[in-house]
Copies of this chain bind each other. A is one copy, B any other.
């Protein structure tokens, strides 16, 4: 069924066979950085910048220059030695590799605080990710337009997703509902899911899940706060031989 849906639409800027093999070989980490480069480059293009060196671009993107060049080499050699890269050219090649020449219709499930924020988020449509469907269980919400799209009932997920050719599902439901919503999205043919619920989703192999987990992010930061505090404490141990609470610590 996924194949059926795809078949009628693959008229989109087809990748050359050479590019196709390249795309397969791009490391996941590099893909994430390419997206960042793309944004930086777009910003530069908007400001009228036409050329950029790996050094400049890498600084703006906050990465090592060599790494940036290697990342770009994964998608081909589009720079000019001694000069740098043409911003426009780079933008269009990154967009092509990332599949941004095609629009990816997005469905948001769970129209709570976060769902509202996502539905209204201006960054999506502008970048080729039109939100075309919203879902919730709350009867009071059904039919109410949020960000211009009326909310559908979650039971209609399969029909609506198929009809609107949704390719990316965003889960913004409470944790208990997430797995069930995920299953429904999958059976509606959605193969890419962005999960905001703090739950580990179980999906078949052919479905790609990325998760955004606020609690985990906070706890990673917390770990670093604690590590810092400990380092500070270690220093004070070195200074006076006393632990943080005044007890002597063996060397």
Contact = CB atoms under 8 A, between A and B. Distances in A.
Interface in A185-211: 191-192, 194, 198, 200-202, 208, 210
5 contacts: A32-B216, A114-B117, A167-B225, A194-B221, A210-B221
Interface in A12-40: 12, 14-15, 17, 20, 23-24, 26, 28, 31-32, 34-36, 38-40
Interface string A169-194: 00000000000000000000001101
Given A102-B226, A114-B117, A192-B225, A219 B38 contact: yes
Between A99, A102, A118, the greatest number of chain B beta carbons within 10 A of the residue's beta carbon is seen for A99
Contact of A35 (B123, B220, B243): B220
Interface of A: 2-3, 6-7, 10-12, 14-15, 17, 20, 23-24, 26, 28, 31-32, 34-36, 38-40, 60-62, 97-100, 102, 104, 106, 112-114, 116-118, 120-121, 123-124, 127-129, 167-168, 191-192, 194, 198, 200-202, 208, 210, 212-230, 232-234, 236, 243-245, 249-250
A229 B35 contact: no
A35 B21 CA distance: 36
Contacts of A7: 232, 236
Contacts of A124: 214-215, 218
Nearest 6 Cβ contacts at the A-B interface: A99-B226, A113-B117, A35-B219, A192-B221, A35-B216, A10-B244
Nearest to A250: B17
A215 B127 contact: yes
Nearest to A247: B14
Given A216-B35, A218-B124, A99 B61 contact: no
Contacts of A226: 15, 23, 97-99, 102
Contact of A214 (B123, B223, B227): B123
Contact of A168 (B14, B62, B221, B229): B221
B223 A98 contact: yes
Given A192-B224, A210-B220, 5 more contacts: A10-B233, A12-B229, A35-B220, A97-B226, A127-B215
Nearest to A124: B218
Contacts of A202: 62
A222 B191 contact: no
A215 B6 contact: no
